Amino acid sequence: MHARAEAGARGAGIRSDCWVQVEDAGPGQPKIEIHSRVAALYGDSIRTLVHSTLHELGADDLSLTIEDSGALPFTIMARIEAAVHRLQPDNRRVVLPAVNPASVYASDRQRIRRSRLYLPGTTPKFFINAGLHGPDAVILDLEDSVPPAEKDAARILVRNALRTVSFYGAEKVVRINQLPRGLDDVRALAPHGVHTFMIPKVEHADEVLAVHRLVEDLRRSGQVTGDIYLLPIIESAKGVINSFAIASAAASIVGLALGLEDYTTDIGAQRTAEGRESEWAAGQIIVAARAAGVQPLASVYSDIGDEQGLYHWARQQRLLGFDGIGCIHPRQIRVVHDAFAPSEKEIEQARRIVSAYEEAMASGRGVVAVEGKMIDPPVVARAQRIMRLAMMTTERHVGATEAAETP
């Protein structure tokens, strides 16, 4: 029997993925065997892709079997690459799918991050339409949702997704593994259009600094051109205690997220719906993040069936001072945006503050006053943020109207 390796998934419940097995052909001719649910429509195209991918990997001499359940080309390429690398651990060649122009857009540090949608890094079917549901950010996860044996394959798949899948304007975030493995994730993915790296289970500022320095090294060597932001996640007692040092460790940090599942375990508490066990941590994170000038981001709400519970919880996080929460199902996004939407009254008040501020700036006065009351800079900043949140709702409106005018 010849050495063989496999990657991907197959079976009745699998969609938008494929299973690939590669094998040393031995003295005989290499064989390519393709079974696909979409053979009638894309059989020839899959065969061409299999050959060119093997060729670019320098693996023309391998036999390959593929069982395809409607995988898109970026997935087929990733699965072949993973299988070949597993068979040939010294093979360093990669096959990069062409960059989809629709997936190229910038993020910015101040952008609104009300909702961030977690996508398991091994399940391509969740990637494809994630952006349609309008999250502020998508998180391609390499950490907790990926089993240890799939870490290598997930990294390749996520890299290909970053290059080809359009997330329709959502910030493209990758949650890397805990360091030191996470540094390899950064090295592999930073050149491929990541906006932001989430760093899990951070306890010390130097962990964040290590990621920051690695990104800067990659920038100096020309592998990274755009801005890349960092988003540490605090998930332990030690992390909470060190939160301000962590939040202010590097200039590329844009926020500080709280991970409650691990935190509550770490402090010996149980996570409850009311969340009293994490009140102190929430307060710490909010204060530390604000003091460092970055966004405090709350945890996830796990009951995907309970929209009302989600709304109330998200609303509560907003009132505490958080700027956003994590989502584990696309249907949570709308609810979260509703919960974080400013009220008419808030918008009206913010409008008055912002226009008073602009007027004061224009006339060169240093003092801003609304209805005889002095307004401090943090209040102005908050009002500006509320106006941006309000604009995000109207923008969608305007864009759609234009489309409707030209059927």
Partner 1 sequence: MIKQIENAAGRLVPTTVNGRQTTPYQGVGGYLPHGHKVGPPLRSCAQYPDGSKLAPNLVAALSRAGLRDGMVISSHHHFRDGDLLMEQVFAAAAQLGVRDLVWFPSAAFPCHRSLIRYLEDGTIHHIEGSLNGPLGVYASAGKMRGMAVLRSHGSRYRAVQDGDVHIDIAIIAAPAADSFGNCSGVNGPSACGPLGFALADAQYADHVIAVTDNLVPFPCIPWHINGNLVDQVVVVERIGDPARIVSGTTELTRSPDRLLIAEYAARFVRDVGIMRPGFSFQAGAGGTSLAFTLFLRDMMREAGVKARFIRGGSTKYLVEMLESGLTDYVLDGQSFDLDGVRSLRDNPAHVATNPFITYNYHGKGNVAALVDCVVLGATEVDVDFNANVVTHSDGLLLHGIGGWQDTLFARCTILTVPSFRDRVPIIRDRVTTLCGPGELIAVVVTERGIAINPRRQDLLAAVRGSALPIRSLHEIKAEAEAICGGAPAPLQTGEEIIGVVTWVDGTILDSVRQVVDEDVLAMAGGMQGEAA
Q: Which residues bind partner 1 (CB under 8 A)?
A: 15-16, 35-45, 49, 69-73, 100, 128-129, 132-133, 329-331, 396-397, 400-401, 403-405, 407
Residue 129 backbone phi and psi in degrees, to 5: -110, 10
Nearest-approach distance from CB 204 to partner 1, in angstroms: 38
Question: Cα separation of 249 and 355, whole Å?
Answer: 35
Q: Toward partner 1, which CB reaches closer, 82 or 165?
A: 165
Q: What letter does residue 94 receive in the DSSP assignment?
A: -
Nearest-approach distance from CB 101 to partner 1, in angstroms: 10
DSSP 3-state of 90: coil
Tell me which residue has tokens 């009220």. Answer: 343
∠ at Cα 385 (380, 389), nearest 5°? 145
Q: Toward partner 1, which CB reaches closer, 37 or 109?
A: 37
**Cα separations (Å) of 143 from 179, 206, 223, 295, 322?**
11, 20, 24, 22, 24
Nearest-approach distance from CB 106 to partner 1, in angstroms: 22
Question: Cα separation of 217 and 197, whole Å?
Answer: 15
Question: Cα separation of 188 and 246, whole Å?
Answer: 24
Nearest-approach distance from CB 339 to partner 1, in angstroms: 18
Nearest-approach distance from CB 407 to partner 1, in angstroms: 5
Q: Toward partner 1, which CB reaches closer, 103 or 242?
A: 103
Q: Toward partner 1, which CB reaches closer, 348 or 395?
A: 395
Q: Toward partner 1, which CB reaches closer, 362 or 403?
A: 403
Nearest-approach distance from CB 235 to partner 1, in angstroms: 27
Q: In 106-150, which residue ranges form alpha helices assigned H by DSSP?
A: 124-128
Nearest-approach distance from CB 344 to partner 1, in angstroms: 18
Contact 113, 135 (CB under 8 A): no
Q: What letter does residue 407 receive in the DSSP assignment?
A: -
Q: Toward partner 1, which CB reaches closer, 126 or 229?
A: 126
Q: Toward partner 1, which CB reaches closer, 200 or 330?
A: 330
Q: Toward partner 1, which CB reaches closer, 40 or 319?
A: 40
Question: Cα separation of 29 and 7, whole Å?
Answer: 22
DSSP 3-state of 343: coil
Neighbour count for residue 382 (Cβ, 10 Å):
14
Q: To 10 degrees, the CA torsion angle through 107, 111, 113, 116?
A: -10
Nearest-approach distance from CB 402 to partner 1, in angstroms: 10
Question: Cα separation of 31 and 398, whole Å?
Answer: 55
